[in-house]
Amino acid sequence: MSTRLATGGRLLNKAKQVTFSFNGKQLTGYEGDTLASALLANDQMLMGRSFKYHRPRGVVASGAEEPNALVNLGAGGKFEPNQRATTTELYDGLSATSQNHWPSLEFDVGVVNNYAARALPAGFYYKTFMAPAAAWKHVFEPIVRHSAGLGKAPKDRDADRYEHYYAFFDVVIVGGGVAGLQAAKTAGLAGASVLLMEQTAFWGGRAPVDGGEIDGKATDDFIDATVTELEAMDNVTLRNRMMGAGVYDHGYLLGYERLTDHAPALAGPRHRLWRIRAKQIVTATGAIERPLSFAGNDIPGVMLASAVRDYVANFGVSAGDRTVVVTNNDDAYRTAIALKNAGLDVPVILDARATGGGALAEEAKALGIRVENGKAIAKVKGGKRVTGVAICAQAGEGSVLEDIACDAVAMSGGWSPVVHLWSHCGGKLNWNEKYAMFQPDPNRPPLSHDGNPFVVPAGSAAGAQTDTDYEGFSLFETLRTAHDAANKVCQALGLNVPDLKTPSVSEHDEVALEPVWLMPQGAGTKLRMKAWLDYQNDVKVSDVRLAAQEGYESVEHTKRYTTLGMATDQGKLSNINGLAVLSDALNQPIPATGTTTFRPPYTPISMGSIAGEARDEVFQPLRRTPIHDWHEANGAFFEPVGQWRRPYCFPRGSETHADAVKREINQTRNSVGLLDASTLGKIIVKGPDAGKFLDMMYTNMMSTLKPGKCRYGLVCNENGFLIDDGVVARIDEDTFLCHTTTGGAERIHGWMEDWLQCEWWDWQVFTANVTEQYAQIAIVGPNARNLIEKLGGDMDVSEEALPFMAWKDGKIGAFDARAYRISFSGELSYEIAVPASQGRAFWDVVMEFGKEFDIMPYGTEALHVMRAEKGFIMIGDETDGTVIPQDLNMQWAISKKKGDFLGKRAQLRDHMASPDRWKLAGFETLDGSVIPDGSYIVAEGKNANNQRNVQGRVTSTYYSPTLDRGIAMGLVHGGMNRLDDVVEFNKVDGGTVAARVVDPVFYDKDGEKQNV
């Protein structure tokens, strides 16, 4: 059984007991425990079930690489699935449940998949698709959906908050082990601004567990002294619980800081995503131990040798009383020695190397541990827990020589440098034959914008340098490469590097490992089918071999076919073993197979951290006019228009929206209404060439406009399509004010600047977007003039003094105002601009004085209906990016006198000039009903896709309160030439509605009402 030892546990605070629950069971641990160590201390070896076969899974590792021990953490708004128990710090009240089982972890019905494993080989999904289509939908998908999957999706809103943080450093060092600390010291002393980040809560990495001495003292002392030294440097920033998640172009780096995961009661954001610009990056990310592939290597109790050692040293926890160690290298002997020293039993060390190990092996033997060279595990015995191993010769096919009872297995297949961050941005790898691992190629690093390297690996993440006499992952090499890496980045930054001596080190010499990709070497099909590569996704040696047999040669294809390395751990343990098996099956060297692509993030980061602060009321910016608060207080129903919220209508009491719109229109048509038009864009265009410039921007002639006058204009893009419209007012000889649509303000301003800056840079024109400087309020209806006159002031707003399509500055009431006689409703209308800071006050005064006319505000829907009654087009309704002004019968707004304007040449193309284009017309249903939005005008016959042919479509369709019937505009083949034809619009119910083609101006065709 796994249990807490009486001694040991360097990371624990044994004075502080912590209570937590697992699957509802109350358990205790200590401050400093991870969830995994605390579960092991409580003999909870079984922690989850695998994805496909629902096999029992126990913890296999002790850090970020863990594939098995994934739990649902927390509840309600704090619930989060797929959390690694090995990186979850224990806190009081932590509540975790295991995943992917039903009805319980101990007894899982889904495990039948395990017995059907022969029916679920590699490529199962793809092969299933080759069955009749219906079989997938009705047979396989429901079964797979029910049985596959890991954690549950959260159901409640996330209760935590998150944020981003932008930071800039000369040097960022990822990894706070001894390599990272040493590199930080060197770079810090050189005067660089340095960030050193460490994903766990403590500094020093695994050096204190692995032993050795630095400068004659324990590694712990070196770590403490260095951290103290770094903390005293103003130019060095230390951050723990912060993972280097990804390296991107130009030294962009993501740091994922977990602020309250270890103490959810703390105030403040849960995660902070650091968005860092680093001039140089040092990856001191360490190395990950590889499992060995033998039958039953996934049974709970089989763990990485380093993890077994970590649990003893860091947490005072033993994985079992009797642990068999199986290895192909010297490092695993450290585990056997640590276990023995902790008073635990190591029945045998199985060393796959025929010649065995070096100094560490001698030390183990001296402790009385039985060592068997050239031996291997034939199979592990047990179900939910290891009960023993069968031993065989590594060279053979697995004939059992001996059975040994044990309750844990510590395995080591060698180490792989963590090259992820090196590789994210294009750093290349070499295969190191001697150590059987991929390591960064210093000659092919990630390059920055200037072609210079910006990532340097340090410590064991750099792999083993073959040009030195020192062995692989030795402590000495770790410190030396760290110092060198810091040296290199400081030189790149032009800093003087301090003359630092690499600390002296005393440690064991090791002899080389022997690559072991399958155990025993000649294992047959039966054993291979139980030799796991990917624990989380249930990929076995047999699956990879099957893929190779079926013709999959590319490692990327094999990955997707078998799902090897596609789980939440992204194959941190399985990738190298998997591609080695593939290489063997393809009979090619490992470098020829290569690796799959390393992509950020290094381990999954929370969705919340990516979103940052953008949620709830600040999910998106919401733009408010100066009168927005009044709208809110008066019951406006809002609709989004760009990032603005504009009142759609102002329903009163229990009034429906339709009734409100009808009331607002009738009031405006019969007396006076009020519209908040502040959102419309207002762009000043000024300069000697302003007229010439606007003649290019608009299809019609603007340069001839007289000061004091307004003209409606159309803006097209260079492809001829209509992109905006609005009224242009000429302020003086050199100055125009261009109104745009609400959504067009920024876009058209940018469009103007684009042409001025990139094409016509020698034209003397300046623009300024002054949209928000003004509150603009439309006073609309037959009583509009009466009302304005009642407001007082010095402005003469009579027909003579301020005729239709003119504008004027002056006082209206006490307000500095500019009044435009423009109308989008067909009524007598003044749009009045006042300074935004007085907009609300002006609105209030107008409402007050308008009482005698029963004044009421109207919303965007009333605006839309009234303009449709007048046959005015709306950008976004009548246009959709494929419509040119000619389609809308607006030839009158296209100047024939001008040499050029944007869109002119495009509009001359054959297709644009074709008589077959659908053109604007009005439509009246014969029965008075309203044509459905989006409806098409059907034509005879069907097209090649068996769809009904069409000859047009509706673009605007409303119930008109003024006419008490449905009215519509639309585009139809033949356009106004079809006058009086009856066409059929399709309906949602499958039927059609008949409508007559009519003039799109339904109301006041002669403009008598607006021109008064």
Nearest to 301 by CA among 391, 390, 385, 376: 385
Binding to other proteins (CB under 8 A) within 648-707 occurs at 684, 686-688
Is residue 708 a contact point for other proteins (CB under 8 A)?
Answer: no
Is residue 838 a contact point for other proteins (CB under 8 A)?
Answer: yes
C-alpha–C-alpha distance, residues 642 and 744, integer Å? 9
Residue-level length of the chain: 1012
C-alpha–C-alpha distance, residues 47 and 28, integer Å? 16
Candidates 215-223, 491-499, 713-721, 841-849; binding stretch for other proteins (CB under 8 A): 841-849
Is residue 168 a contact point for other proteins (CB under 8 A)?
Answer: yes
Q: Which residue of 835, 912, 950, 973 would you call a contact of other proteins, by CB under 8 A? A: 835
Q: Which residue of 134, 267, 366, 758 would you call a contact of other proteins, by CB under 8 A? A: 267
Is residue 268 a contact point for other proteins (CB under 8 A)?
Answer: yes
Give whichever of 753 and 789 is closer to other proteins, judged by the CB atom.
753
Interface with other proteins: number of residues (CB under 8 A):
54
Nearest to 95 by CA among 179, 169, 177, 38: 38
Beta-bridged to residue 816, according to DSSP, are 811
Is residue 101 a contact point for other proteins (CB under 8 A)?
Answer: no
* Residue tagged 């010439």 (tokens): 692
Q: How far is the CB of 306 from other proteins (least distance, A)?
A: 34
* Residue tagged 């490529």 (tokens): 123
Candidates 164-172, 555-563, 867-875, 892-900; binding stretch for other proteins (CB under 8 A): 164-172
Q: Which residue of 837, 882, 943, 977 would you call a contact of other proteins, by CB under 8 A? A: 837
Binding to other proteins (CB under 8 A) within 593-622 occurs at 612-614, 617-618, 620-622
Q: Which residue of 815, 820, 872, 923 would you call a contact of other proteins, by CB under 8 A? A: 815
Give whichever of 463 and 626 is closer to other proteins, judged by the CB atom.
626
Is the separation of the CB atoms in 847 and 674 below 8 Å?
A: yes
What SS3 state is found at 737? strand
Is residue 905 a contact point for other proteins (CB under 8 A)?
Answer: no
Is residue 272 a contact point for other proteins (CB under 8 A)?
Answer: yes
Q: What is the largest CA-CA distance in the chain?
A: 114
What SS3 state is found at 723? strand
Beta carbons within 8 Å of 1009's beta carbon, 6+ residues apart: 782, 826, 827, 828
Q: How far is the CB of 352 from other proteins (least distance, A)?
A: 49
Is residue 156 a contact point for other proteins (CB under 8 A)?
Answer: no
- The DSSP result for 862-926, as a single string, is HHHHHHHHTT---TTTT-SSS--GGGGT-GGGS-SS-S--TTHHHHTSHHHH-TTSEEEEEEEET
Q: For strand 408-412 and strand 323-327, is the pairing parallel, antiparallel, or unpaired?
A: parallel
Is residue 198 a contact point for other proteins (CB under 8 A)?
Answer: no
Q: Which residue of 37, 87, 113, 625 would you call a contact of other proteins, by CB under 8 A? A: 625
Give whichever of 170 and 471 is closer to other proteins, judged by the CB atom.
170
What SS3 state is found at 813? coil
* Residue tagged 């090791």 (tokens): 510
Give whichever of 137 and 277 is closer to other proteins, judged by the CB atom.
277
Is the separation of the CB atoms in 884 and 719 below 8 Å?
A: no
Candidates 287-295, 480-488, 662-670, 808-816; binding stretch for other proteins (CB under 8 A): 808-816
Q: How far is the CB of 857 from other proteins (least distance, A)?
A: 19
C-alpha–C-alpha distance, residues 270 and 609, integer Å? 8
* Residue tagged 């908050």 (tokens): 161
Is residue 163 a contact point for other proteins (CB under 8 A)?
Answer: yes
Candidates 278-286, 452-460, 765-773, 939-947; binding stretch for other proteins (CB under 8 A): 765-773
Q: Which residue of 365, 692, 709, 840 would you call a contact of other proteins, by CB under 8 A? A: 840
Binding mask 222-251 for other proteins (x = CB under 8 A): ---------------x--------------
Candidates 28-36, 225-233, 261-269, 897-905; binding stretch for other proteins (CB under 8 A): 261-269
Give whichever of 249 and 433 is closer to other proteins, judged by the CB atom.
249
- Reading phi first (left if > 0) and then psi (alpha if -120 to 50, else beta), residue 587 is in left
Is residue 165 a contact point for other proteins (CB under 8 A)?
Answer: yes
Q: Which residue of 841, 847, 874, 950 would you call a contact of other proteins, by CB under 8 A? A: 841
As given in the structure block, the two tokens for residue 277 are 């610009």
What SS3 state is found at 2? coil
Q: CA of 514: how far to CAs of 29, 42, 412, 430, 534, in Å?
A: 39, 36, 11, 18, 22
Candidates 260-268, 595-603, 879-887, 962-970; binding stretch for other proteins (CB under 8 A): 260-268
**φ and ψ at 845, to 5 degrees?**
-65, -45
Give whichever of 268 and 589 is closer to other proteins, judged by the CB atom.
268
- The DSSP result for 195-242, as a single string, is EEEESSSSSBTTHHHH--EETTEEHHHHHHHHHHHHHT-TTEEEEESE
Binding to other proteins (CB under 8 A) within 274-293 occurs at 275, 277
Give whichever of 842 and 872 is closer to other proteins, judged by the CB atom.
842
Give whichever of 164 and 709 is closer to other proteins, judged by the CB atom.
164
What SS3 state is found at 390? strand
Q: Which residue of 78, 152, 161, 365 would you call a contact of other proteins, by CB under 8 A? A: 161
As given in the structure block, the two tokens for residue 550 are 């079926």
Give whichever of 277 and 652 is closer to other proteins, judged by the CB atom.
277
Is the separation of the CB atoms in 985 and 932 below 8 Å?
A: yes
Q: CA of 866: how far to CAs of 39, 662, 673, 872, in Å?
A: 70, 10, 12, 9
Binding to other proteins (CB under 8 A) within 174-193 occurs at 193
Q: How far is the CB of 191 from other proteins (least distance, A)?
A: 12
Give whichever of 257 and 310 is closer to other proteins, judged by the CB atom.
257
Give whichever of 354 and 607 is closer to other proteins, judged by the CB atom.
607
Is residue 790 a contact point for other proteins (CB under 8 A)?
Answer: no
C-alpha–C-alpha distance, residues 173 and 175, integer Å? 6
Q: Which residue of 10, 78, 152, 164 would you call a contact of other proteins, by CB under 8 A? A: 164
Give contact residues for other proteins (rule: CB under 8 A). 161, 163-168, 193, 237, 266-269, 272, 275, 277, 612-614, 617-618, 620-626, 643-644, 684, 686-688, 764, 766-768, 770-774, 814-816, 835-838, 840-842, 845
